[in-house]
Structure 1
Amino acid sequence: MLIILFGMLVGLVLGLTGAGGGILAIPALTLGLGWTLAQATPVALLAVGTAAALGALDGLRKGLVRYKAAALMALVGSTTSPIGLHLARLMPAKVLVLMFSAVMMFVSVRMFLQARADARDDGSLGVLEKNCMLNPATGRLTWNARCSMTLVSIGATSGLLTGLLSVGGGFLIVPAFRKFSDVRIHAVVSTSLMVVALVSLGTLGNLMSQGVSLSNEGVIFIGATLAGMIAGRVIAPHVSAQWLQQGFAGLCAVIGVLMLAKVLLTAF
């Protein structure tokens, strides 16, 4: 029952935020179920990757996915994720957990501040110029060197952290794409899901080629995550953008504190 409950929670949060499920999967499996990081990594990647793929298909059907931007970020991310996997094998598990916690804290603060800034800006001052802007006439992104390099940077960092921390990378894509573009939050979430799906499943393929396998409990967790994703995508259109951002920021903070507490408790 715990496996099903945690799996559905991961899928629900991933469907709502485009990112939160990824950062929740590893803590759910390690803190909630007592698995080791090595046991949790392939299950988390497959659960997040398949659930994100399901959400991305829903976003494509609704015309929300910026598929060219997603393809560029995923392509770059797929080239940097093996570097993250290699670095992860060289680092002690406690160091990886501390890095995970630090990243969560940073993302939490950035996302919360961004949500407050969006709330203060009621649109009366107009849309500020950002690295990637939508063309008002076509509704598509205006592609130039500045926008392309921004997306390459986001994809590269996301892929590196996916391999290093096995969290999907969406926790970086959502706030970064939101900050550097004028794309609406629900389209940002759908685009993030497509990138997370492509990079996570690519990283998992790399692990599988090294002989990593899944347990029966892992398969149950993945199935529950898919069910949670479906529920999240149904609920998402009815949730305000500000609530999603603030909720995501709060989730990052909680996860960061829990992971840090785990390291400190085992150290003493």
Structure 2
Amino acid sequence: MIWIIGHLLAVGIGISLGLLGGGGSVLALPVLVYVMGVAPKNAIAMTLVIIGTVSILGLIPHWRAGNVWLKTAYIFGSATMVGAFLGAKLATLPFITDAIQMLLFALLMLVASLLMIQRSARPKKTDDIIPYPKPVCKYCWLWLMSEGIVVGTLTGLVGVGGGFAIVPALVLLGKVPMKAAIGTSLLIITMNAIAGFIGYWGHVTLDWGLMLSFILAASVGTILGGYLSGFIPAARLQKSFGYFVLAVAALVLFQNRDTFWQWYTPKNAASAKVSLQSRV
């Protein structure tokens, strides 16, 4: 039953990628950790493989429609790849524990969910899926690459594909239309996943069978999501998905609540010891 539930959720991962151009890693990592029982570091590396592979499949219809800007993907993607590799290497250091990675993941999802909800509340004036203001500058390639390094580092560190940050960066800094931003983001997510996975290689244990079955299930969802995108306005899904991501973030924070106590308890113990010594 757990296997079935996990793979049904994997289909949902693909639908999210097909409809919104992102959000897959928000679902993939918690499903692998809390449903399938995979250790967080291993799950993050597996998430990169799953999301990267499924993003390639989701990229195909956008490529055919001419919604992939290769030059922009090269500029932004090259920066995110460097960041993803460095983030993965950072994650393999001893002081970056599983709990720290999951807490960082939850905090990022908390921010992402609030941004999704806020954007969905703005009045829609164009045919764009998500309303954004006009590009904020004329020559933004330097800012684009700087944000790319940050987004890539987070990808490697906590397994987040970065679609929630890549799409607005492409729109605001790269002056890319929304539809092209979604298609281009899938290519950049794939590039991130490759670089991050290389950084984890040799430091984690991978369940190749589980990854393959998840990729197949998510691929079905991606095809279904791409088909449904022609009938379901993604703007209607944005707010609901934002609240769902908020719930996922709350769940992960709750699951890792003991980490806060571990940080807090030694300080209390030290204070109590000092107090006891002073009394003696």
Q: Shared fold (TM-score greater than 0.5)?
A: yes
Distance 1:265 1:53 in 2: 38
List aligned pairs for 1:75-114, cutoff 5 A: 75-90=78-93, 91-114=96-119
Deviation per CA, 1:14-67, whole angstroms, max 9, x where unpaired?
A: 111111112211011112222211331232111100110111122111111222
Aligned to 2:37, which of 34, 38, 55?
Answer: 34
SS in 1 for 2:81: helix
| Structure 1 Cα separation of the partners of residues 151 and 165 of structure 2 | 6
1:129 CA drift (Å): 4.1
Q: Distance in 1 between matches of 2:18 and 2:152?
A: 20
What is the identity percentage for the equivalent residue pairs of Structure 1 and Structure 2?
28
Q: CA deviation at 1:223?
A: 1.4
Query: Could you tell me how far apart the structure 2 residues matched to 1:102 and 1:226 are?
Result: 28
- Contact in 2 for aligned 1:162/1:169 (Cα 8 Å): yes
Q: Which of 45, 48, 52 matches 2:48?
A: 45
Is 2:222 the partner of 1:217? no
Instruction: Please tell me the residue identity of whatever aligns with 2:41.
Output: A
> Letter of the aligned partner of 1:199 in structure 2?
N
Secondary structure, in 3 states, of the residue corresponding to 1:237?
coil
Q: What is the CA–CA distance in structure 1 between the aligned matches of 2:25 and 2:222, rounded to whole Å?
A: 12
Structure 2 runs not aligned, ≥5 long: 262-280
- Alpha-carbon RMSD: 2.5
Name the counterpart of 1:21: 24
The partner residue of 1:165 within 123, 148, 158 is 158
The Cα of 1:211 is off from its aligned counterpart by 6.9
Q: Give the residue type in structure 2 aligned to 1:102.
A: L
Distance 2:213 2:77 in 1: 27
- Matched letter for residue 218 of structure 1: M
Provide, for residues 73-128 of structure 1, a one-character-per-residue CA deviation record: whole Å limited to 9, x for no partner.
Answer: 11111111122112222312111111111111112212222222243x579xxx95
For the pair 1:9 / 2:2, whether they are aligned, the reply is no
The count of residues paired between Structure 1 and Structure 2 equals: 252
Query: Shift of residue 218 of structure 1?
Result: 2.2
Kept in 2: contact 1:59–1:190 (CA 8 A): yes
Deviates more, 1:148-157 or 1:19-28: 148-157
Aligned match of 2:144: 151
**Structure 1 CA distance for aligned equivalents of residues 239 and 126 of structure 2:** 17
CA deviation profile, 1:135-179 (whole Å, cap 9, x unmatched): xxxxxxxxx5x3212321332122111100012222321243345
Report the more deviating stretch, 101-110 or 213-222: 213-222
Partner of 1:250: 243
Which structure's CA Rg is the greater one? 2
CA displacement at 1:184 relative to structure 2: 4.1
Quick one: distance in 1 between partners of 2:237 and 2:46?
26
Distance 1:182 1:237, change over 3 A: farther
| 2:253 counterpart of 1:235 | no
Q: 3-state SS of the aligned residue for 1:238?
A: coil
TM-score of the superposed pair, with normalisation by structure 1: 0.83
Matched residue SS, 1:167: coil
Note the residue ranges of structure 1 that are not aligned, 5 or more in a row: 133-143
Letter in 2 for 1:65: V
Q: How many angstroms apart in 2 are the aligned matches of 1:227 and 1:129?
A: 35
**Kept in 2: contact 1:16–1:232 (CA 8 A):** yes
Question: Quick check: 1:4–1:221 contact (8 Å CA) kept in 2?
Answer: yes
Q: Distance in 2 between matches of 1:177 and 1:246?
A: 21
After superposing the two structures, state which structure 1 stretch, 45-54 or 13-22, moved more.
13-22
